[in-house]
Structure 1
């Protein structure tokens, strides 16, 4: 059986292009996917990939658009590949253009997974440098505050309300009320 696996990291992404690319070359008999799932989430903890790994049998082939769909951590990708190998399941990655059942494919997989992990760490380092730079320039980071702390405090005092009543009145969480009321006036 030929099985397809798709993964996107966020709600803003679609797996349509991955599916279309795979459909152009393979007749997939069964699809598995994980949506809004980071590559940082261990493969065994992802619902779709976990179900795929339980389902596949000796002689099956798993097709992915790119090896980074299995994960961005070298060890996790290699563990997933090892599970497939132990079940005698072939793995094909379209973007990289290799079949991981061969020795050359396994070598290439190890190198590519290492590069993917290195790139993820580089992206994170650039992100942290950008945040540090923005803070040094005095830029406000994060989402704009949607709660007027003073209004929350004043309403709670005027109405002798509990934290829960205040949260319900403003349509905010209990922790937001606690945070607003703990701030200095």
Structure 2
């Protein structure tokens, strides 16, 4: 079976170009993610990996659509190879059944990882410039009822409730909860 995988990083991005390519490739089953490629924790990606079986072919528009770092890319291709599933990247035109193809896959995977790191670096630089100009203040801190927070922390510290229960009561995730505990000296 010809299985297509399409990924866009954000909801506002359009996957039409990738979908057209999948149509041209006559894919029989299509999996679409609207998520970052920074890791493999993507719903449709996981579904696709569970779906494919020996003799199938996974088709992507480019390597960067399936993975943004070399380690993930090589791991994905290795898992597909173990399942006897062929991997095809249209942009790079790579055949993973040959040693040369696997080498080229590694090179292109490293380039995709470098591209992601460059994007993040430019983003950090842009934020720093905006902060210096007073245009970027970061995310607004979550407001919590201080009395409720202190009460939940007190009951957590005395063992009345768990930390997880305290977090749920005040509506905070672990990192934010513990940061607030530290800031308030609780």
- TM-score scaled by length of structure 1: 0.71
Please state if 1:76 is matched with 2:72.
yes
The structure 1 segments of at least 4 consecutive aligned residues displaced by more than 4 Å after TM superposition are none
Q: Is the 8 A contact 2:59 2:90 kept in 1?
A: yes
Larger radius of gyration: 1
**Structure 2 stretches lacking a partner, 5+ long:** 150-169, 172-179, 181-186
1:183 aligned partner = none
Alignment size in residue pairs: 157
Q: CA separation in 1, counterparts of 2:91 and 2:123?
A: 26
Counting only pairs closer than 5 Å after superposition, residues 69-148 of structure 1 correspond to structure 2 as 69-142=65-138
Q: Is the 8 A contact 2:4 2:27 kept in 1?
A: yes
1:4 aligned partner = 4
Q: For each residue in 1:15-63, what CA deviation from the matched residue of structure 2 results, as whole angstroms up to 9, or x when unmatched?
A: 2210101222x2211111212x110132xx3221111111211111111
**Structure 1 stretches lacking a partner, 5+ long:** 150-161, 164-173, 180-185
Q: CA separation in 2, counterparts of 1:110 and 1:65?
A: 17
Q: Is the 8 A contact 2:127 2:136 kept in 1?
A: no
Counting only pairs closer than 5 Å after superposition, residues 7-86 of structure 1 correspond to structure 2 as 7-24=7-24, 26-35=25-34, 37-42=35-40, 45-86=41-82
Q: Is the 8 A contact 1:22 1:94 kept in 2?
A: no
Q: For each residue in 1:81-119, what CA deviation from the matched residue of structure 2 results, as whole angstroms up to 9, or x when unmatched?
A: 111010111111111122222222111110111111112
Q: Is the 8 A contact 2:64 2:109 kept in 1?
A: yes
Question: Partner of 2:22: helix, strand, or coil?
Answer: helix
